[in-house]
Structure 1
Amino acid sequence: MTEVRVSIATTAGAIAIERIAPIGLRKSKAFTWRGAAPLPAISASYDAFVRKRVARILPADAAATFRIDLSAEIHVGDSWQLAVFAAHALHGAKRLAGKGRDDAASFLFATGTVDFELAAGEVGHVEDKLRLLVRDDGLRRAAGEGRRVVVAIPEANAADGRPEQEQLRALGAEVLIVHQVGDLLRVLDLDVAARDAGPDDAWEGSPFRGLEVFDVRHRRIFWGRGRAREEALQVLRRHDLLGCSFVLIHGSSGVGKSSLARAGLLGDLQQSASADDRWLVAIVVPSRGRRSPIASLAEALAAAMPGFATTPEELAARLLANPARVANEVAEALARGGQESGRVRIALLVDQLEELLLWAREQQTHQAAAEREAFAETLARLARTRRVWVIATLRSDLMALLEDSPILSDLARDDRLYRLERPRPGALAEIIRRPAELAGLNFVGHDKDNLPLVDVLTDAAKRQQDCLPLLQFTLKLLYDDKDRRSGTISYQQYESAGGLENAIGAWADRTVEGLGGDAEIERAVDDVLFNLARRGRETDVVVGAEFLLDEGFVTATRETVISALAEARLVVLDFDAGTGRRTMRVAHEALLTHWRRARTLFETHGAKLALKEDLERSAVRWREQKENKETFLILGATPLVEAEQLLADSRVGLSSLAREYVRESLAVQRSHVESLKARLARDEEKVAGLIAAGAYGEAERELDGIVDYLFDQAEAGLVQRRAAVATQRARIGRLALYDGQAKTVFPKAGQEEFEKARLACEGALHALDVLDDSQWWDKLPVQDLSATQIADLHQEIYRLLLLYSGLQLVPGIRALFAGGSTRPPRLPPAWVVRPLVKLAPRLVVAFLKQVAARRRLLDRRDSEEARAAFELCRAGLREAHRVEKLLGDGQHSQTSVLVDQLAGMFSELAAGPKGGPIDLARFLAVKPPAAFAEPINAADYFFVALFNYFVAKRRRDGAVAMFVFLLRGNFAALDAHHPLVTAERLLRTAIALEPRNFWPHWVLGRTLQEADDHSAAELAFNSAIALEPRYARGYEQRGLSLAKQSARNGDSRLRDRARADSLLAGQYAEGDASIYWPRGELLDELGETEAALDAYCLWLELEENVLGTVARGGGVSRLHRRTETLLADAGARALHADAHALQALVHWTCKDLPAALAAAEGALRLAPRHPHALGAKGAVLLETGNPHEALAALELALAAAPTNFWVQLNRARALEKIGSLDAAGTAWEHLLSRSPEPGQDRCPPWIRAIAEASLERLRRDCDPSRAS
């Protein structure tokens, strides 16, 4: 017969079996060729394999022990068994080709395990092994020479390495898929009959574990994981050689991680142990027994190494203090043990490593983090001693938790990870069949499709994600069935149990039904079940929990339920003899997901389950605090109410610590509520004071604060007050919005910013729904105001309605004349017009008609936009008339009549058809009344006075004079002859009626100034300032009157007061640059012309849109004439540089850039460091595209005037233009950070807005992530 050369296919290549020979020793041994020392990794396993497997094919009188020599060392696993079994069969037939027999007729390369039934079992790394065989020189040579080559792999690995299998066939090898070892022996032409397995191979009792884990002692019935066992051990051994003996097995819940680690890896290591190479086993579950993780680790190490530590508590303290030292001490102790009795190592399993990481994360304390890292460092140090192999398991969905621990994250690197997948169908069949065969069981019966029961179970299992616990439970249930026929498990049993998916639920239901169906038992079942679970914080799924059974939870009925569930092996009871504590946990989490009752309970009470878990975690954190413990109590009222309800719920088994935590929180909350009520009383009193003072914005902010600190309060009284305060806040918020807008209306109108004034006026009225709701008067938020405040509010709304109506004329007039190229005719001055219209009114009217016809000034415009504006004007007037009626005035105000008449005239112009003429005579024909019509109330007096003041200011304008005189019949309230006298009289009446209103006092001051009565004007401004001490315009105009008085009488005290008022105006102006014009006028009056010119320069530089109003445009013209006069005056040569600089800024304002540059250069020829001239030059150069030259001028300007905001603005822009973005950013930051020194003015808001936007743009360009 032909000889066969046999090799073992490994991940290191083919290892040849060089010799098998009987030895006269008690045990079989494995060596490398002619090696003196047995191979430590497989000798013990080889001896057991010979006794229990090989002996079954040997003659009864054959030798009992053997020596096997291999061409290279095998370090780990059992995948050598199939090749070794075949080699022994060939040796018995005297056909094994040994060392040097490369000329053998046949070659066998095999990998696989052999079970007690002599079936080939699944192994790992088959793809790698076959890939190496494809490249093996011996195999290729033998196949190439036509000799027979057989490659044998287990049936369970048939799908592995299919490309490599095809490559081997292409080389001429036979690839044999082995189910039973007899298949391989027949291919080798061996006729060997195997004897039955010996009694020591049989398994007593159930070979199935139900919901319990396979432990080390269950190695013989742990099947279907041969591949994973080999691969995981290979990872561990490889890293042991690299100096870090660690592997982390991870996979989904229910995939069998714990069983693989215990029965597979630990079982295999112990199986390979010998007298000279012993393995001690230590198993730690960090969460088990309600001990801290480090205490659990200490207990496991102490149990594995008796005598190493006095007590587990003492070892735990040492581990916390110095993990590195303890690891060294463990290694030294193991080394000493090895000197006495061969090598001694520890296989340390950390099962469910996620419990350590979750525990530390849930504690959220420094102590917990420190303990986690001490635990991790202990593992890392032990793994690097080469005397401790560390195996850990972790759920894949919680792998991210490793990032919490730098040490574990480094330890569990990619190459030290082993992912455990669900078993494949072949492995599932092995899991079902092999343990049953060990126990002498047969599966009988078929389903309706004639599938055998093993196939039915396999098909059902492969459809379930957590198939292994379901499969083991079902098989255990079938085995334990009292009606089961001896030696069999039948399909009928399986069908009666409810099938694989329903077996757990059906068994749990039958267990509960056995207790009786009364309501008390049903409640107790739910109570027990509820406390067996927790909601996973990281995954938000229900997972098992360990629950302490204390007297606060356990009742007689609940004890009955607990005992029944434990007897049914659905729950596990643990007892700690040291502490006397009893705990309960589910046998497997599959119970929670596959029992309908449990799923329904957790879906219904999921929030309660999560709250319980949160309370337990929070209570532990609270207990561990050394100081500031109160801050870790339940502080929110709503969470506290929920906690109190949970405490009162008898179903919920809170720990004694959690109960104490809730009670302490309740006590602190009661004290907190009393404190809050006292605070609330104080704050409400403060709010009332602010409302009484009209400080609605501050009152709203205070109310916001009250609502915030009452937000999560659940005490009934505070809840009621919070609702009341929230309602009050809404009311005061409307008043604050109204007040904030209303306060800006008159200042904006006084500065001729009519559009801004109109929008502010509109915003204020909208805040109170005056223009939106016909019932607004009855809905005013006045519940918190005094009677006086309510009356004042009514008057102020009335004033705003009148002003709004007048201001609404402005957009209408603009719409009428928008885009027109015609200019009003140039008329003679007023002193000519007045006598002319008196002496020859018809001639004047004819002249006006002629001009209007020629210029088409009075043609109809057919403007929808203008008509809409005038309609809004009339809508405001209607509301004003309504208020007049409500206030009991009895008739319409003169102001409203005047505005209505203006609106009527302009509406005629806005009407169609376009180009149609207006009958001017109709308006001129109206006769003036015999007597002046008196206003009807304070607001009316004020506005009519304001109109007359306006007429007086324009009295030198011939057009205004002609308009007023000719149309005096239409506007009876206007005094064409003595408008200042009338204005003063009306204003004094308005003040008498409303002495606390600022604006009549201020306009009276302006009227008296216009009348050249500056001492009386000073008194009027005194009153205005007393009413509004922070309004800049009061100081500005009083200072001007003081300066004019000082100029007349030379009183230096008045001069000093005038200067002081000018400084105060700058302080309160908040960057409003319009103050520089009156400051220039003031300085002119004081004879300080140089300082006045400086003020006018600042006005042109810092005022936004100087030409935007008529008055300011006239001011620019005056300045131009002023500079021309100064430059023509040879006696004013000292001021020529200043005049040139001012003239440059006038040209800059009028957009005449060449003239501006020429004037700036003229100033610089006289004064090379003149800041305004340099600033103007820089601005012009920047505008004309010369940023580098502009920057040079601006740098000099900034050096001469470091506080000039306009120069700083243009310098920053120039830096951006030349690409110096860092310097530009610094320039913008400097501009924004500048706080004015005492006596200095503030940055204008428009410049500040540009700086903020530019800086943000630069930052965004540098950091694109800020773009959102």
Structure 2
Amino acid sequence: MPRYALVIGIAKYDNLTNLPKAVNDAEKIAELLRERGRFDVQPLPGKLIEGENRWQVTPDKKLIGKELGQTLRTFLLEKAKGSEALIYFAGHGFEALSLTGEAKGYLATSDCNKVDGQNAIAFDDLNTLIAKSQLTSLVVLLDCCYAGSLIERSLIQSSFPVFNSKLDYCLIAASRASERAREDAEGGIFTKAVLEGLAENQADETSGEINVNDLISFVSRQLKQSGQEPIYMDGGRSIPLVWYPPKNPVAAGVVSDECPYRGLQAFDKEHAKFFFGRQKVVNNIQQKLAQANFIPIIGASGSGKSSVVRAGLIPVLENNGWRVLEMTPDVEPLTELRAAFKPFFRNAREFYDCIRNHPDGLRQLILRLPSSERFLLLVDQFEEVFTLCRKEEERHRFIELLTQCHTDRLAIVTTMRADFLEPCLSYESLTKLIQEQAVYMPPLLGGELEEAIASPADLQGYQLERGLLGSIQQEVVGQEKGCLPLLQFALTELWEQRDRQAHQLTVAKYNELGGVTGALNRHAENLYTSFTKHQQDWVKRIFLKLVRTGAQAKDTRQWQAKTKLLSIAGDNPDEQQAINDVLEKLIQGRLIVLDSEPTGEVWVDLAHEALMEGWERFAKWRKEGRELRRLRDRIEDTLRIWEEEPRNENLMMGGLLAKVQERWSELESDLDTATREFYQHSDAQGRQRKTAETFYKIYLSENYA
């Protein structure tokens, strides 16, 4: 497909300061795009060399408004029609008030009037041309000196609404409204960063490509301490800009059998090379981190929040010298927070006091670290603060520590399901940061979805059979939340049944699997029906224990100690071994996962929340006996608190004890030995208290009547 670039560098102005370096910057961009970007480049000011079919820059020539306006019209509506296009502008930009008093943005031309915008190119007019154009993609690079206000997001959205709808586009601007687009001895520092970001040493080793997402990430890092911050808007696929000879090509007949898909597991940094389609979100998080040190990432279950951080953000930060700490809140978030930082401290008492008591605890921890490294604390599954932590005092302290940490050396990123936004509103500091800094996970659509499906297989030397990509996209687009893990699971199953001779993933196998929505349910059912009836009962109880039953249908996954699941069989060693065999089979079937602590304790979790709806039988189980399971969770929470404290005699009392006594016959079989003993102890003490109260009342009535 043909590619066309219009490269503009204006040095001469009648009513503004001359910018001699703007033309030099434009020449360098034009040369790079011509040699490495496969663009047909037209520079302005410039002239067409007769007989050679090429353009030559004329640096001393002025570029008047009429000429630039006509050239833009011809370029967008005629020359680049049906093709990929790129526009680069280096020069002045300014705002002028319209007759109604509204600010309008302009690109300055040599003969323009800064007061009223006469002879300048209005953003509104440029937007109209873009809307009329029939391009396949568009990249715009604006290095506008003295015109930071032109590129504020609010102004861009009003002046360039087409950028909100065009499928494949990217607008990168040099600075914010409050900043100047600066120059050094060589030229504009934004253009310098663009040229460095498109240099050969930044190219992908396997493809030799540098795309707009790569460029955005690089330029943002380069200009971080420069006094100006580039901003961007983009949509659709990540548009390739330049190519170099691959350093490590894989496509030339090299085939790998390593599965590039993750099933129900999140992508992590070890599998980052297979993680495609979310670069824009990663770039957005990086931009937010440049402005603040607390970034909540919020999205529906199954939207890929953890993968974006683990496989997208963390590798980038580690390559830039960051240290990454990871945790989930679990039942005791302060304990988990201490565990994340514990390797860096020898003085346990000082460490404990910072977490528990110091008003600026996390900052104090960082100040006590000997090095000058920057740290990222990832708090994954932040909703556990509300679903698993039962102590309000601990929850409040944890949120306070995270949201009131003010230090450049520590950044905090949290991931949370969108349906838990409401409980966040009870905490003012958390609400404020969500309003100002949240990154919301958009649906994976268009070129990004195509990347996520096809690129991992392509990297391994496999192709999707004709028609397969369209079939998958048709099924996925418009599906409800949670579809991405189902997609990854279906692709994993499809990979296992790939055509190894033709190096293809085929339509026939995809249909056999039942498509995206049917693959997980079919797999889980096949595994479930392979168990005996007695084992199937264990499977049901195991899965229901791995779910925290919420109000209405708002359930979340919850880790369980493996010993607790084994105790479903009571104290019988043979039965416990039989349950262990069931667990192993579920692990091999990729429906549950294990994790272990240094103490040797092993924990069990669902492979992904998507199982709760994606496996129809499990979804049906969750609808049964919800009130009883919520009561079971409350008993286990109370037991946990009691075990943490010095075995006080409060035990289970009041309304909770009365409810458990009322429904004990239904609950008993689903509780382990420790929980049953806890209830029996509570019940006995409750009855003793009741008897004592009765005798006391009798005593009072007989002696003081």
- SS state of the match for residue 345, structure 2? coil
1:444 aligns with 2:465: yes
Q: Secondary structure at the match of 1:205?
A: coil
Residue segments in structure 2 that go unaligned for 5+ positions in a row: 10-18, 45-56, 76-83, 86-102, 113-118, 141-153, 171-206, 213-239, 570-575
Could you say if the C-alpha distance between residues 464 and 675 of structure 1 is closer, same or farther in structure 2, counting changes exceeding 3 Å? same
For 1:217-296, list aligned pairs within 5 A.
217-239=270-292, 245-271=293-319, 273=320, 278-287=321-330, 292-296=332-336
Paired residue type of 1:258: S
Partner of 2:659: 639
The aligned counterpart of 1:5 is: 7
TM-superposition CA deviations, 1:813-834 (whole Å, max 9, x none): xxxxxxxxxxxxxxxxxxxxxx
Q: Distance in 2 between matches of 1:99 and 1:319?
A: 65
2:632: which partner in 1? 612
Counterpart of 1:666? 683
2:503 is the counterpart of 1:487: yes
| Residue in 2 that maps onto 1:388 | 410
Q: Per-residue CA shift, 1:804-849, capped at 9, x if unaligned?
A: xxxxxxxxxxxxxxxxxxxxxxxxxxxxxxxxxxxxxxxxxxxxxx
Q: Residues 380 and 532 from structure 1, CA distance in 2 versus in 1: closer, same or farther, beyond 3 angstroms?
A: closer
CA distance in 1, matches of 2:592, 2:488: 15
Alpha-carbon distance in structure 1 between the residues aligned to 2:296 and 2:346: 31
- 1:1111-1148 deviation per Cα after TM superposition (whole angstroms, max 9, x unaligned): xxxxxxxxxxxxxxxxxxxxxxxxxxxxxxxxxxxxxx
Structure 1 residue 635, shift from structure 2 partner: 5.2
Percent identical residues = 21
Q: What SS does structure 2 have at the residue aligned with 1:553? A: helix
Change (3 A) 1:133 1:617: farther
Deviation sequence 1:367-410 (CA, Å, 0-9, x none): xx1x334433432454x211222211222221122244444344
> How far is 1:323 from its partner?
5.6
Q: Alpha-carbon deviations, 1:200-221, whole Å to 9, x = none?
A: 7998722211111122333332
Q: Which residue of 1 aligns with 2:355?
A: 319
- In the alignment, residue 577 of structure 2 is paired with which amino acid? A
> Residue 152 of structure 1 contacts residue 177 of structure 1 at CA under 8 Å; is this kept in 2?
no
Are residues 679 and 430 of structure 1, via their aligned partners in 2, closer, same or farther at CA, if it must alter by over 3 Å?
A: same
1:531 is aligned to 2:478: no
Secondary structure of 1:135 counterpart: strand
1:281–1:346 CA contact under 8 A, matched in 2: yes
Q: In the alignment, which of 317, 322, 337 is matched to residue 371 of structure 2? A: 337
**Residues 684 and 543 from structure 1, CA distance in 2 versus in 1: closer, same or farther, beyond 3 angstroms?**
same
SS across alignment from 1:349: strand
Specify the alignment match of 1:363 in structure 2.
Answer: 391
Question: In structure 2, do the counterparts of structure 1 residues 259 and 589 end up closer, same or farther at CA, with 3 Å as the change threshold?
Answer: same
User: Residues 214 and 258 of structure 1 are in contact (CA less than 8 Å); yes or no, is this contact kept in structure 2?
Assistant: yes
Any unmatched runs of 5+ in structure 1?
A: 8-14, 21-32, 34-67, 71-82, 111-118, 121-131, 169-173, 185-189, 240-244, 339-343, 446-451, 690-1268
Within 5 A, what are the aligned runs for 1:557-956? Answer: 557-578=578-599, 580-623=600-643, 629-630=649-650, 632-633=652-653, 638-641=658-661, 644-645=664-665, 648-649=668-669, 652=670, 654=672, 656=674, 658-672=675-689, 674-675=691-692, 678=695
2:422 match: 400
Q: Quick one: which amino acid aligns to residue 541 of structure 1?
A: K
**Residues 276 and 451, structure 2, Cα contact 8 Å, conserved in 1:** yes
- Indicate whether 1:507 and 2:454 are aligned: no
1:199 counterpart = 2:249: yes
Task: Give 1:455's aligned residue.
Answer: 470
Evaluate the alpha carbon distance shift between residue 254 and residue 92 of structure 1 in structure 2; reply closer, same or farther with a 3 A threshold.
Answer: closer
Quickly say closer, same or farther: Cα 1:167–1:485, change in 2 above 3 A. Answer: closer
- Structure 1: how far apart are the matches of 2:579 and 2:489? 24
Contact 2:424/2:430 (<8 A) preserved: yes
The residue matched to 1:392 in structure 2 has which SS?
Answer: strand
Give the counterpart of 2:346 among 289, 310, 327.
Answer: 310
Compared CA separation, residues 681 and 319, structure 1 to 2 (3 A):
closer
Q: Distance in 2 between matches of 1:191 and 1:237?
A: 25
CA deviations on 1:298-333 (whole Å, 9 max, x unpaired) are 222345xxxx31277973453213262552341463
Provide the rounded CA distance (Å) in 2 between the counterparts of 1:467 and 1:613.
Answer: 29
Q: What's the offset of the Cα at 1:265?
A: 2.6
How far apart are 1:441 and its partner, in Å?
Answer: 2.2
Return the offset for 1:571.
0.7
Query: Do the aligned partners of residues 211 and 152 (structure 1) sit closer, same or farther apart at CA in structure 2, a change above 3 Å counting?
Result: farther
Change beyond 3 A, Cα 1:677–1:514: same
- Once the two structures are superposed, the pairs formed by residues 146-161 of structure 1 within 5 Å of their partners are none
Q: CA deviation at 1:566?
A: 0.8
In terms of fraction of residues, the more strand-rich structure is 2
Aligned-residue offset at 1:546 = 0.7
3-state DSSP class of the match of 2:375? strand
Aligned counterparts of 2:529 and 2:121: Cα–Cα separation in 1: 68
The 8 Å contact of residues 354 and 365 in structure 2, kept in 1 or not, is answered as no
The residue identity in structure 2 corresponding to 1:630 is N
CA contact (8 A) 2:354 2:364 kept: no
Report the AA paired with residue 561 of structure 1. V
Q: Which of 552, 556, 559 is the aligned partner of 2:577?
A: 556
* Structure 2 residue identity aligned to 1:348: L
User: Aligned residue for 1:417?
Assistant: 438
Kept in 2, the 8 Å contact 1:647–1:654? The answer is no
- Calculate the TM-score normalised by the size of structure 1: 0.38
Letter in 2 for 1:508: A
Please report how far the alpha carbon of residue 595 of structure 1 lies from its aligned counterpart in structure 2 after TM superposition.
0.9
> What's the secondary structure of 2:470's corresponding residue?
helix
Report the AA paired with residue 374 of structure 2.
Answer: R
- Evaluate the alpha carbon distance shift between residue 154 and residue 312 of structure 1 in structure 2; reply closer, same or farther with a 3 A threshold: farther
8 Å CA contact retained: 1:257, 1:393: yes
Aligned-partner Cα distance in 2 for 1:584–1:266: 25
- Alpha-carbon distance change, 624 to 495 in structure 1, aligned in 2, over 3 angstroms: same
Corresponding residue SS for 1:611: helix
SS in 2 for 1:456: helix
The one-letter amino acid paired with 2:562 is L
Q: Equivalent of 2:106, from 135, 138, 142?
A: 135
Shift of 1:17: 10
- Please report how far the alpha carbon of residue 439 of structure 1 lies from its aligned counterpart in structure 2 after TM superposition: 2.2
Counterpart for residue 98 of structure 2: none
- Report 1 or 2 for greater relative contact order, CA contacts < 8 Å, sequence distance ≥ 6: 2
Q: Is the 8 A contact 2:297 2:441 kept in 1?
A: yes
Distance 2:470 2:562 in 1: 43
CA distance in 1 between counterparts of 2:105 and 2:371 reads 45
Q: Which has the larger radius of gyration?
A: 1
* Matched AA of 2:337: L
Rate the CA distance shift 1:311–1:492 in 2: closer, same or farther, 3 A: farther
Distance (whole Å) between structure 1 residues aligned to residue 645 and residue 629 of structure 2 = 25
The aligned runs of 1:25-36 (5 Å cut-off) are: none
Alpha-carbon contact 2:642-2:648 (below 8 Å) kept: no
Distance verdict in 2 for CA 1:215–1:156, change over 3 Å: farther
Residue aligning to 2:559: 546
Q: How many Å apart are 1:598 and its aligned residue?
A: 0.9
Name the CA distance, whole Å, in 2 between partners of 1:576 and 1:183. 41
How far apart, CA to CA, are the structure 1 residues paired with 2:168 and 2:498?
43
Q: Distance in 1 between matches of 2:43 and 2:336?
A: 53
Does the Cα contact within 8 Å between 1:229 and 1:265 map onto a contact in 2? Answer: yes
Q: State the one-letter code of the partner of 1:557.
A: A
1:1230-1241 correspondence runs (5 A): none
Aligned 1:966-977 pairs, distance under 5 A = none
Secondary structure at the counterpart of residue 630 of structure 1: coil
**Within 1, Cα distance between the matches of 2:60 and 2:665?**
83
Distance 1:641 1:325, change over 3 A: closer
- How do 1:1126-1165 residues align onto structure 2 when only pairs under 5 Å count? none
